[in-house]
Chains A and B, each alone.
Chain A
């Protein structure tokens, strides 16, 4: 009896190690394929135009996604957080490396990241931030790492990419728009450009306009862009505000009517 148990134990261990090697090889092969040919399940932002139109089905785990934007409040961080939440739903933790010390965790919870699986790291220097991102990406129990860098070297980005590929995690790196000309080690590089709403004062709509440019993607032709409306659920507007909107719209129409009839 003991002999049989020992034999099954050995077989299971061998089977486990083989399975692990096969998984590792599969991940590496997928890392060489174009995004459109990857068969493994993808992460989606939940915005169809981005997921289907721009990224051919979503973003695979085990790589970097660069989000470029040139101003605060552009919407890039919100999209990155949606991806982080999608990654965490598959199991694993989210690590936020917040060098600026301004990240607001309740919004991560609002996006669906489990508070029990969120780790906030506030490094004192840029070097520490880079080290923390690398360590987190290299940990196979971390599903997503979110970090913003005003400046980061290509060497550091390459190290991030290797760490993410090895662990199967997702690195969400936010950089300024000026980084668009630097070498891209990420699986996808996106530029987020916020657009003002076409009708000023139209607060009845809660959506915001964003134009997303695909600057680089593995195995895909860059240069495409889509314009999306991102719905941001807000608190309901008070009735008197809606009335004011209507009165303002009426007032805007009145001179035109006068011109026609005058």
Chain B
């Protein structure tokens, strides 16, 4: 699993990215699976699983990679071979953190070759920061006296998740190879973008609309050549005085119709505050996808597709005006704690994760139509300490509880570090309303958590 990082970088983030893109593009000749390291914007990872027979030895492969780097004019690189992605990244990233490695001449390229199955003993000498944990975890480890990987390995495996969180545990499992690490693949940067400038800075909405229309039409000419439609559009409105507004729009299906794009674009820009007169716009097809082309809607069988497309138009409009994070696809989760039993994914990310797949309903008791984000503390009188509520004080008034069903005991979440232990009662109050109360078992306090309709 080679992991290559240039020793020196360009002047800024843009230069680094372009350097990595150039390197990644060249390295696709070795494997189609070139991955990006999310923790290091200079690094690329090659997955050579099943391809080793193409080279006589790893030395030959390294020689070719180094020759390529030399040919591209990149600065000296560090290349590491490891059993896992995590292992390889540690030996390149950790090199700068380890005094012995940092002392190596920076003007030379270095290759770390870790024999198969022997990565852990090599790893022990590296500082804890090389493992790629979050900074607060690294700080916490330092406070606890855990300075090297060897110190970290002294901690019992079960205690890692409890003390440092599931992310840390997951990362450690990825490094040691017990869990497969999934990383984003490298994709060639999109080059479809159009800049349109006005003759002079202008505040008129009509001028901006005209400028945008022209830019979008030209952009669609570019994307249409590859028979592709836009699924994410990045927009930059340049204003007088150096100010600019940047935004991006998502589309449910690949868009190639300028009217559709402009409608969504105007809905979004209606909510934007422009810092000054506009002198130009830049639109970029940040993500594209092959166009869905069909003959027409003449036959009945195509109605479903048409329905999907139209439903997608509504989603696009809602997301453009309200924000993508406010248009949600609710998905059930296998959790008994009521507030965690579902999750709302922003519709565009939900589409990518699970395209409208229905999940089975767990066999639960009655659930309220409204669940309060923060349970409301209420004073409750009960016939006996563990009994159902008898009277409740809410909104400055005492209410008699006419009927109560329960308890439904929910005791869960110990693995999250704080156990949730509650006795839920569905109660009917004297005014006829049905409300969901629970008693927190730790301290016996009562809370109003929801209402039934």
Q: Give A residues with C-beta under 8 Å from B.
A: 9, 12-13, 71-79, 81, 93, 95, 100-110, 114-124, 128, 131-132, 135-136, 139-142, 193-197, 200-203, 206, 208-210, 232-235, 237
Contacts and interface: CB of A to CB of B under 8 A. Distances in A.
A179 B234 CA distance: 44
B435 A72 contact: yes
Nearest to B312: A141
Given A194-B431, A234-B405, A9 B369 contact: no
B272 to A, nearest CB: 15
Given A141-B307, A202-B403, A104 B450 contact: yes
Contacts of B259: none
B319 to A, nearest CB: 9
B91 to A, nearest CB: 45
20 contacts: A72-B435, A72-B451, A73-B434, A75-B452, A77-B369, A101-B373, A102-B450, A105-B330, A106-B361, A107-B367, A109-B332, A114-B358, A115-B358, A115-B359, A119-B327, A120-B344, A135-B314, A142-B311, A195-B432, A200-B400
Interface string B442-453: 000000001111
B403 A74 contact: no
B402 interface: yes
Interface of B: 298, 307, 310-311, 313-315, 317-318, 321-323, 326-332, 338, 341-342, 344, 347, 356-359, 361, 364-373, 400, 402-405, 408, 426, 428-435, 450-453
B452 A73 contact: yes
A136 B361 contact: no
Nearest to A132: B318
Contacts of B370: 72, 77, 100, 102-104
A132 B366 contact: no
Nearest to A74: B433
Given A106-B332, A121-B328, A203-B403, A116 B307 contact: no
A9 B370 CA distance: 51
Nearest to A198: B402
Given A119-B315, A121-B326, A141-B307, A233 B366 contact: yes
Given A102-B371, A115-B331, A203-B404, 8 more contacts: A13-B298, A75-B452, A102-B450, A104-B367, A116-B358, A140-B310, A142-B314, A196-B432
Contact of B326 (A72, A76, A124): A124
B54 to A, nearest CB: 44
Contacts of A196: 402, 428-432
A56 B368 CA distance: 30
Contact of A9 (B298, B329, B433, B434): B298
A117 B367 CA distance: 20
Contacts, number: 171
Looking at A73, A101, A235, A237, the one whose CB has the most chain B CB atoms below 10 A away is A73
Contacts of B367: 104, 106-107, 110
A93 B311 contact: yes
Contacts of B361: 106, 109-110
Nearest to A209: B432
A141 B314 contact: yes
B26 to A, nearest CB: 43
A10 B428 CA distance: 63
Contacts of B323: 124
Given A72-B370, A135-B317, A136-B314, A194 B402 contact: no
A103 to B, nearest CB: 6
A100 B400 CA distance: 27
Nearest to B432: A194
Contacts of B403: 197, 200-203
A196 B408 CA distance: 22
Nearest to B306: A141
A106 B340 CA distance: 11
A235 B330 contact: no
Given A77-B369, A93-B311, A232-B452, A118 B330 contact: yes
Contacts of B365: 234-235
A106 B341 contact: yes
A128 B322 contact: yes
A208 B328 contact: no
A84 to B, nearest CB: 11
B318 A74 contact: no
A74 to B, nearest CB: 6
A61 B20 CA distance: 57
A102 B453 CA distance: 12
A110 to B, nearest CB: 7
Nearest to A244: B387
A35 to B, nearest CB: 24
A116 B311 CA distance: 12
A120 B358 contact: no
A202 B358 CA distance: 37
Looking at B314, B332, B342, B453, the one whose CB has the most chain A CB atoms below 10 A away is B453
Nearest to A69: B453
A235 B431 contact: no
B408 A235 contact: yes
Given A77-B370, A132-B318, A200 B453 contact: no
Contacts of B358: 114-116
A141 B311 contact: yes
Contacts of A202: 403
A106 B364 contact: yes
B164 to A, nearest CB: 32
Contact of B369 (A78, A93, A116, A121): A78
Contact of B432 (A74, A78, A140, A234): A74
Nearest to B338: A104
A95 B435 CA distance: 25
Contacts of B347: 119
Contacts of A123: 322, 326
Contacts of A235: 365-366, 405, 408
Contacts of A140: 310
A122 B373 CA distance: 14
A101 B372 CA distance: 8
Contacts of A106: 330, 332, 341-342, 361, 364, 367
A200 B402 contact: yes
